[in-house]
């Protein structure tokens, strides 16, 4: 594996690969890799000839400075994991490389997809995501880029951006990888105490209970989303270390909030929860 820190070197390293007709896969990460990241890498390895994994804790997507400062980092462990997976390139740019001080700032936004969920509660977050991912797409010029569906809003925003700006990349959404108790894998999980970890497991249980409630209501034509959200909210906050930031059921394509789910329609329930001060997100599809 080759570790690269500059944009120029990254472009040069891929130029010969592309000339040989190699299909390039990109897995953008902020490091502190876990099994969820590795599942994206393995899919890229299966579907592409060359895989580039970027590790960059992007300062422009943090609306809370303390969250940025406390983001877990273990570069040595990450690089060892990438070596074991047979990754060809690790792209490790510094913030000054990605955002030179002498450049004017560029702002990117897709208001239609960022007015609720995490977009509402983390002002500027997706502007930073769009900026850094568009830069990675331009630098690496991948054929495919892989993102986990745990961050469903992020996936939809990035896919929309890629299509709107005519990037020749297929944005691939990969299913959420979970712990044995159902908790979605996240780098933030490492910050949970043992007790908080038990309470965090209520999040996937609550979302699954919503799907079960829908199945039990099959005789009805529709079910009010407010009722379903209240069920999930109460389950999560039965854990004393949990505080729900938002709980919404949305259209899976537009992310518009739904008032009700009608029979034979799909939807998605999404939530953000502070568990002992650590912000966790999760979502799942709903079928009625």
Give the residue numbers annotated as catalytic, written as ranges.
37
Pick from 241, 223, 236: nearest CA to 270: 236
Burial class (CB in 10 A: 0-12, 13-18, 19+), 270: buried
What is the token pair recorded at 254? Answer: 């537009």
Strands 170-174 and 144-148: parallel
Strands 260-262 and 89-91: unpaired
What is the token pair recorded at 27? Answer: 């897995």
Q: Tokens 């009722």 correspond to what residue?
A: 227
Residue 121 has, within 13 A of its CA and on its CB side, a CA count of 15
């Amino acid at each position: 594996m080759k570790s690269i820190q500059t944009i120029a070197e990254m472009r040069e390293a891929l130029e010969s690969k592309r000339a040989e007709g190699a299909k390039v896969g990109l897995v953008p990460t902020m490091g502190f890799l876990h099994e969820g990241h590795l599942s994206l890498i393995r899919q890229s390895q299966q579907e592409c000839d060359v895989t580039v994994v970027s590790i960059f804790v992007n300062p422009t997507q943090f609306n809370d400075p303390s969250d940025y400062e406390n983001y877990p980092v273990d570069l040595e462990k990450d690089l060892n994991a990438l070596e074991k997976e047979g990754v060809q390139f690790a792209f490790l740019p510094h913030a000054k490389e990605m955002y030179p001080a002498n450049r004017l700032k560029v702002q990117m936004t897709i208001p239609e997809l960022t007015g609720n969920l995490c977009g509402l509660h983390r002002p500027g977050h997706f502007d930073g995501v769009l900026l850094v991912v568009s830069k990675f797409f331009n630098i690496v010029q991948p054929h495919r880029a892989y993102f986990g569906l745990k961050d469903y809003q992020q996936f939809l925003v990035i896919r929309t951006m890629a299509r709107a700006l005519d990037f020749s990349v297929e944005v691939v959404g990969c299913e959420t990888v979970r712990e044995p108790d159902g908790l979605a894998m996240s780098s933030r999980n490492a910050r949970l105490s043992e007790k908080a970890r038990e309470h965090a497991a209520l999040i996937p249980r609550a979302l699954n209970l919503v799907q079960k409630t829908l199945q039990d209501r099959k005789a009805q034509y529709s079910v009010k989303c407010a009722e379903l959200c209240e069920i999930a909210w109460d389950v999560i906050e039965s854990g004393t270390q949990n505080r729900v930031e938002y709980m919404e059921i949305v259209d899976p394509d537009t992310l518009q909030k739904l008032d009700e789910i009608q029979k034979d329609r799909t939807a998605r329930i999404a939530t953000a929860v502070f568990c002992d001060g650590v912000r966790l997100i999760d979502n799942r599809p709903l079928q009625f």
